[in-house]
Amino acid sequence: MQLKKLLRNKFFDKIILRKSEKGYVVTIKDYSMLLNKEGLVKSYLRPTGRIEIEGEVYDVIADGDFVEKGLRVKVIKVEGRKIVVNKIN
Protein backbone atom coordinates (compact mmCIF):
# COMPACT_ATOMS: atom_id res chain seq x y z
CA MET A 1 0.00 0.00 0.00
CA GLN A 2 2.76 2.44 0.93
CA LEU A 3 4.51 1.78 -2.35
CA LYS A 4 1.38 2.53 -4.39
CA LYS A 5 0.93 5.88 -2.60
CA LEU A 6 4.57 6.69 -3.11
CA LEU A 7 4.39 5.90 -6.85
CA ARG A 8 1.37 8.20 -7.26
CA ASN A 9 3.24 11.11 -5.70
CA LYS A 10 3.82 14.06 -8.11
CA PHE A 11 7.52 14.12 -7.26
CA PHE A 12 7.95 10.60 -8.60
CA ASP A 13 5.97 11.47 -11.73
CA LYS A 14 8.86 13.73 -12.69
CA ILE A 15 11.57 11.12 -12.27
CA ILE A 16 9.82 7.90 -13.33
CA LEU A 17 9.14 7.31 -17.00
CA ARG A 18 5.55 6.18 -17.29
CA LYS A 19 5.05 6.58 -21.03
CA SER A 20 7.20 5.09 -23.71
CA GLU A 21 9.04 7.52 -25.91
CA LYS A 22 10.09 7.06 -29.49
CA GLY A 23 13.66 5.85 -29.64
CA TYR A 24 16.50 6.53 -31.98
CA VAL A 25 16.51 5.18 -35.48
CA VAL A 26 19.65 3.29 -36.40
CA THR A 27 20.68 3.38 -40.01
CA ILE A 28 22.93 0.65 -41.28
CA LYS A 29 25.17 1.72 -44.10
CA ASP A 30 25.77 -0.60 -47.02
CA TYR A 31 29.50 -1.04 -47.45
CA SER A 32 29.25 -3.66 -50.21
CA MET A 33 30.32 -1.04 -52.77
CA LEU A 34 33.80 -1.14 -51.20
CA LEU A 35 34.41 -4.76 -52.22
CA ASN A 36 37.60 -5.08 -54.34
CA LYS A 37 38.47 -1.38 -53.91
CA GLU A 38 41.95 -0.32 -52.86
CA GLY A 39 42.79 2.10 -50.08
CA LEU A 40 45.61 3.68 -48.10
CA VAL A 41 46.26 2.68 -44.48
CA LYS A 42 45.83 5.75 -42.23
CA SER A 43 46.62 4.00 -38.91
CA TYR A 44 48.43 0.74 -38.21
CA LEU A 45 46.15 -2.27 -38.69
CA ARG A 46 46.80 -4.42 -35.59
CA PRO A 47 44.57 -6.08 -36.86
CA THR A 48 41.99 -3.26 -36.74
CA GLY A 49 42.58 0.29 -37.86
CA ARG A 50 41.55 2.92 -40.38
CA ILE A 51 41.98 3.21 -44.11
CA GLU A 52 41.04 5.83 -46.69
CA ILE A 53 39.23 4.97 -49.90
CA GLU A 54 38.30 7.74 -52.34
CA GLY A 55 38.56 10.43 -49.66
CA GLU A 56 36.44 8.56 -47.07
CA VAL A 57 37.91 6.96 -43.93
CA TYR A 58 36.69 3.53 -42.80
CA ASP A 59 37.32 1.28 -39.79
CA VAL A 60 38.58 -2.07 -41.05
CA ILE A 61 40.07 -5.40 -40.00
CA ALA A 62 43.24 -6.78 -41.59
CA ASP A 63 43.14 -10.39 -42.75
CA GLY A 64 46.37 -11.90 -41.48
CA ASP A 65 49.44 -9.89 -40.54
CA PHE A 66 49.65 -6.38 -39.15
CA VAL A 67 49.76 -3.70 -41.83
CA GLU A 68 51.89 -0.58 -41.47
CA LYS A 69 50.63 2.96 -41.96
CA GLY A 70 51.06 4.23 -45.52
CA LEU A 71 50.75 0.86 -47.27
CA ARG A 72 48.02 -0.02 -49.76
CA VAL A 73 45.30 -2.57 -49.03
CA LYS A 74 42.39 -4.13 -50.91
CA VAL A 75 38.91 -4.84 -49.51
CA ILE A 76 38.41 -8.61 -49.77
CA LYS A 77 35.22 -9.10 -47.76
CA VAL A 78 32.29 -7.04 -46.46
CA GLU A 79 29.87 -8.48 -43.89
CA GLY A 80 27.44 -5.83 -42.65
CA ARG A 81 29.62 -3.20 -40.96
CA LYS A 82 32.70 -5.45 -40.94
CA ILE A 83 35.18 -4.56 -43.68
CA VAL A 84 38.09 -6.97 -44.14
CA VAL A 85 41.22 -5.93 -46.05
CA ASN A 86 44.38 -7.59 -47.28
CA LYS A 87 47.79 -5.98 -47.85
CA ILE A 88 48.71 -5.46 -51.50
CA ASN A 89 52.18 -6.79 -52.31
Report the range of poorest mean pLDDT among 7-11, 45-49, 53-57. Answer: 7-11
68 pLDDT higher than 80: yes
| CA angle at 66 for the pair 60 and 72, rounded to the nearest 5° | 65
| pLDDT band for position 53 (cuts 50, 70, 90) | very high
pLDDT of residue 29: 83
Alpha-carbon span 31 to 70, nearest angstrom: 22
55 pLDDT higher than 80: yes
Query: Does domain 2-87 bear CATH number 3.40.630.10?
Result: no
Residues 6-41: tens digit of each pLDDT? 556 656 555 555 555 566 666 678 999 999 999 999
Would the pTM of this model clear 0.75, i.e. be above it? no
Residue 88 to residues 10, 24, 37, 38, 48, Cα–Cα distance (Å): 65, 40, 11, 9, 16
